[in-house]
Structure 1
Amino acid sequence: MLAFPTKSITEVLDRFENLSFTCEYKYDGERAQITKPGVSSYVLDCEVVAYNPQEKKILPFQILSTRKRKDVTTASIEVEVCLFAFDLLYIDGQSLVEQEFATRRNTLHDRFVDVPGEFHFAQFANSHSIEEIQIFLEESVKSGCEGLMVKTLNEESSYEPSRRSRKWLKVKKDYLDGVGDSLDLVVIGGYAGRGKRTGVYGGYLLACYDPENEEYQAICKIGTGFSEADLEGQAVFFKDHILSAAKPYYRVTDGVKPDVWFEPVQVWEVKAADFSVSPIYTAGWGLVVL
């Protein structure tokens, strides 16, 4: 089940008026469902995040994205991960998707055990005022998370697989009105779309311009927030600006390889919540001490 984005905490309160609800940290990682068949069987809904067990610290998604996916041995793992579980869909042969979320979460906490640095339950608070939710949101961001997930607890709280349901709302810092910085970034590359995005670009490589060195420094990959019309229009536009190779003044690492390089002809205004030091994107390298 997916969540709808919101632009204010008051929007959350309006949507969940007269309903009991809960707030959870929104972790910055990869969504995963963990399954175990057999006599003792379960299906967990959770987030996999990069984690520093020595400092007990959540690391940015950019760190997780560098973790090898193929031909990995235990000895070669460089990026440790931790699971943060927030829902239980199935246990010992019984489906829980029709049960209230409060019941599913209670069962999750009753049947599983917190393992420091490896398996934790999503941090949550049953807050209902704007002030309480704002404080919890700030605590979430300070701990390395993206924001909050707000979910109905009892009424209208069944689990709907493969659907974006208004039973769940996400409150990310960069979604909120008046929060976050706006960046002017240049599109320098595109990633071929797959699935529903076949035939258009599914993501784009963006760069910021460094006037001192007269170069475009890769800063992030972006692939959300576009309508189908946006994607189709962008594919048509960039068709006339494809390069055979990256420009010599594009500063990128070997780990950043879009399917197509573009001329630096279009600037996008991008809103962001925070900056994090990246091991693969070159923007700001030399200005920040790792």
Structure 2
Amino acid sequence: MAKPPKSKPLLRDVDKPITSRPRKPRDPAQPNLLLDPMPARIEPCLALLKSKPPKGDDWVYEIKWDGYRLSVHVEPTSIRILTRGGHDWTHRFPAIQQAALWLPVGTAILDGEAVVLDEQGRPDFGLLQQSLGSRGGNKSSSDAVLFAFDLLYFDGHDLTRMDLSERRHVLEDLMEGFAGAIRLSEEIDADGDQLLASACEHGLEGIIAKRRSAPYRSGRTGDWIKVKCVQSDSFFVVGYEKSTAARGQIGSLLLAARKGDHLVYVGSVGTGFKERDALQLRNMMDKIARKTPALEYNGQRKAVVWLQPTLIAEIEYRAWTEDLKLRHPSYKGLREKQDNASVCEME
């Protein structure tokens, strides 16, 4: 039987310490490792509305924040805060801008939602609007805080091709121990149905479900799902019904949704207005009045003032009626043009 060959030691002189080869001087002609250029803007990933939370191990949940979607660009010499529509609102969120300057990072793009919290710590869209001076205003809000839920770019590297779980890992490391006007939107390890019930019980808007294994893809791809406690959507204000008894002489607002290239009437809303809201609304609506409706209208309302469909209102409602009208609607506020809010589309 042949003898096995003798094994050779990995190091010739086993008693000597292990050392690496001497480092050679760097060749100036050799290129540096390429970094990803920082994009001027990334179209946001949007959540698809569903009636129930998705199931499965690939889904993770967060609270749905009721505010304005923002991306915060931390650049070498400045901070930029962009709305969903790509408008620069840096000057309108000074506290968030200052907090971004303190982040321990050279360059980054954070995706999140700016909110103003009420006394119970819940996001309040009306309070956010007041702090910004309502629609068309140009006030800055020192009360708004950003709940960051994604990290798209980090120190020269594009993270959008990474899975959500990997992006969140880097985001959580970045936000560890950080407090102030930028906060981490926590992922919640829970059953989706139970979390939704708890969110509704605490007066929150709803929850967001996100696919752990998905990269960051712009638009409504289905990687993110939103489930609301109370439904809410954006609608065009196409007219208002006069009332001598109501504040601002507004009895109700007439609302419309999109249907292809046309507008369709979806009912009216007469609740949720505060005195300040009604007066501001009346001032804006007086400037866009028109003689005829901007849509087909077969209703019987009297003393209607028709409007150009330029104002977009955020409306809460419980359900749709059989004739496709809003059930129990309530006015939440006007959306800013720069927010690029998508108006409800009828199938």
Query: What are the Cα deviations for residues 173-211 of structure 1, in whole angstroms up to 9, with x where unaligned?
Result: 235xxxx9xxxxxxxxxx9xxxxxxxxxx7216879999
Q: Aligned in 2, Cα 1:83/1:142: closer, same or farther, shift over 3 Å?
A: farther
Secondary structure in structure 2 of the residue aligned to 1:65: helix
Q: Aligned in 2, Cα 1:271/1:5: closer, same or farther, shift over 3 Å?
A: farther
Q: 1:159 aligns with which of 216, 222, 226?
A: 216
Q: 1:228 aligns with which of 239, 257, 260?
A: 260
Q: 2:149 aligns with which of 86, 110, 114?
A: 86
Which residue does 1:49 correspond to in 2? 115
Tell me how far apart the structure 1 counterparts of residues 328 and 186 of structure 2 sit (CA, whole Å). 23
- Residues 250 and 278 of structure 2 are in contact (CA less than 8 Å); yes or no, is this contact kept in structure 1? no
1:255 is the counterpart of 2:280: yes
Q: CA deviation at 1:112?
A: 1.8
Q: How does 1:56-95 map to 2 (within 5 A)?
A: 57-66=121-130, 67-68=132-133, 72=139, 80-95=143-158
Q: How does 1:74-153 map to 2 (within 5 A)?
A: 80-113=143-176, 116=179, 118-127=181-190, 132-153=191-212
Tell me how far apart the structure 2 counterparts of residues 87 and 4 of structure 1 sit (CA, whole Å). 17
Unpaired runs of at least 5, structure 1: 181-190, 192-201, 235-250, 280-290
Q: Aligned in 2, Cα 1:37/1:65: closer, same or farther, shift over 3 Å?
A: same
Structure with a larger share of its residues in strand: 1
Q: 1:25 aligns with which of 58, 63, 74?
A: 63
Counterpart of 1:260, as a letter, is A
Tell me how far apart the structure 2 counterparts of residues 117 and 101 of structure 1 sit (CA, whole Å). 24
Q: CA deviation at 1:228?
A: 2.3
Which residue does 2:75 correspond to in 1? 37
Counterpart of 1:62, as a letter, is G
* Greater radius of gyration (CA): 2
Q: CA deviation at 1:278?
A: 7.5
- Residues 62 and 278 of structure 1 are in contact (CA less than 8 Å); yes or no, is this contact kept in structure 2? yes
Which residue does 1:204 correspond to in 2? 237
Q: CA deviation at 1:92?
A: 0.4
Q: Aligned in 2, Cα 1:37/1:117: closer, same or farther, shift over 3 Å?
A: closer
Tell me how far apart the structure 1 counterparts of residues 128 and 68 of structure 2 sit (CA, whole Å). 8
Q: CA deviation at 1:7?
A: 2.0
Q: Aligned in 2, Cα 1:137/1:80: closer, same or farther, shift over 3 Å?
A: same
Q: How many residues align?
A: 216
State the TM-score, normalized to the length of structure 1: 0.60
- Residues 204 and 229 of structure 2 are in contact (CA less than 8 Å); yes or no, is this contact kept in structure 1? no
Aligned-pair identity (%) = 20
Q: How does 1:156-195 map to 2 (within 5 A)?
A: 157-161=214-218, 163-175=219-231
Query: What are the Cα deviations for residues 219-263 of structure 1, in whole angstroms up to 9, with x where unaligned?
Result: 7x967x6332442x56xxxxxxxxxxxxxxxx9722112333688
Q: 1:2 aligns with which of 46, 64, 79?
A: 46
- Residues 174 and 272 of structure 1 are in contact (CA less than 8 Å); yes or no, is this contact kept in structure 2? no
Q: Aligned in 2, Cα 1:151/1:218: closer, same or farther, shift over 3 Å?
A: same
State the TM-score, normalized to the length of structure 2: 0.51
Tell me how far apart the structure 2 counterparts of residues 48 and 167 of structure 1 sit (CA, whole Å). 22
- Residues 97 and 160 of structure 1 are in contact (CA less than 8 Å); yes or no, is this contact kept in structure 2? yes
Unpaired runs of at least 5, structure 2: 1-44, 77-104, 266-274, 302-323, 335-347
Q: 2:325 aligns with which of 228, 252, 269?
A: 269
Q: CA deviation at 1:145?
A: 3.0
Q: CA deviation at 1:141?
A: 3.3
Q: CA deviation at 1:4?
A: 1.1
- Residues 96 and 104 of structure 1 are in contact (CA less than 8 Å); yes or no, is this contact kept in structure 2? yes
Q: CA deviation at 1:70?
A: 5.7
Q: CA deviation at 1:60?
A: 1.9
